[in-house]
């Protein structure tokens, strides 16, 4: 990670996302609130089970970033994670997974520290990325 740009990006993300963290969890688990929607509450599982980073990627990230991590473009876009220099440092992608970004929901309530660490480490060492310095679950806990 080169020092200046990613830190600046991190600060900008922090600013933009203040207040957004609780949104995903609240709306997913309490759709009958005044913030209700045309969606019934579900008794189905609200957490992801998957023992490896590859499983978490397939069961969560691939929905938007695509199975090949190439992202997609429509009226809006999902950035490609493949060959992405922004993954040079581990904290930036970890922060995005924990807190969300713009329309991307935060994953903090759905994934535990180990799963987030695993998936960040998986993405940083696959899809044409080969970045050293895996992140630990302890470091993920500190981002929550």
Of 67 and 133, which has the nearer Cβ to other proteins?
A: 67
The full 3-state SS of the chain, as one line of letters, equals CCCHHHHHHHHHHHHHHCCCHHHHHHHHHCCCCCCCCCCCCCCCCCCCCCCCHHHHHHHHHHHHHCCCCCCEECCCEECCCCCCHHHCCCHHHHHHHHHCECCECCCCCCCCHHHHHHHHHHHHCCCCCCCCCCCCHHHHHHHC
Cβ atoms of residues 101 and 81 within 8 Å: no
Closest approach, Cβ 100 to other proteins, in A, equals 5
Residue among 51, 77, 128, 136 that touches other proteins (CB under 8 A):
77
Closest approach, Cβ 121 to other proteins, in A, equals 19
Closest approach, Cβ 130 to other proteins, in A, equals 24
Of 12 and 133, which has the nearer Cβ to other proteins?
A: 12
Closest approach, Cβ 69 to other proteins, in A, equals 11
Distance CA 25, CA 106 (A): 8
Site for other proteins in 7-36 (CB under 8 A): 15-29, 31-32, 34-36
- Would strands 77-78 and 72-73 be described as parallel, antiparallel, or unpaired? antiparallel
Site for other proteins in 31-50 (CB under 8 A): 31-32, 34-48
Residue among 1, 9, 54, 59 that touches other proteins (CB under 8 A):
59
The contact set with other proteins (CB under 8 A) reads: 15-29, 31-32, 34-48, 58-64, 66-67, 72-78, 100-106, 110
């Amino acid at each position: 990670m080169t020092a200046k740009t990613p830190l600046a990006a991190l600060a900008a993300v922090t600013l933009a996302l203040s207040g957004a963290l609780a949104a995903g969890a609240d709306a997913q688990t309490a759709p009958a609130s005044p913030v209700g929607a045309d969606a019934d509450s579900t008794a189905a599982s609200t957490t992801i089970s998957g023992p490896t980073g590859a499983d978490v990627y397939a069961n969560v990230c691939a929905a938007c970033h695509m199975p090949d991590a190439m992202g997609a473009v429509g009226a809006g876009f999902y950035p490609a994670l493949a060959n992405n220099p922004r993954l040079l440092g581990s904290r930036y992608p970890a922060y995005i997974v924990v807190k969300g970004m713009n329309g991307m929901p935060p994953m903090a309530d759905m994934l535990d520290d180990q799963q987030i660490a695993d998936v960040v480490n998986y993405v940083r060492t696959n899809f044409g990325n080969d970045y050293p310095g895996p992140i630990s679950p302890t470091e993920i806990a500190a981002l929550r």
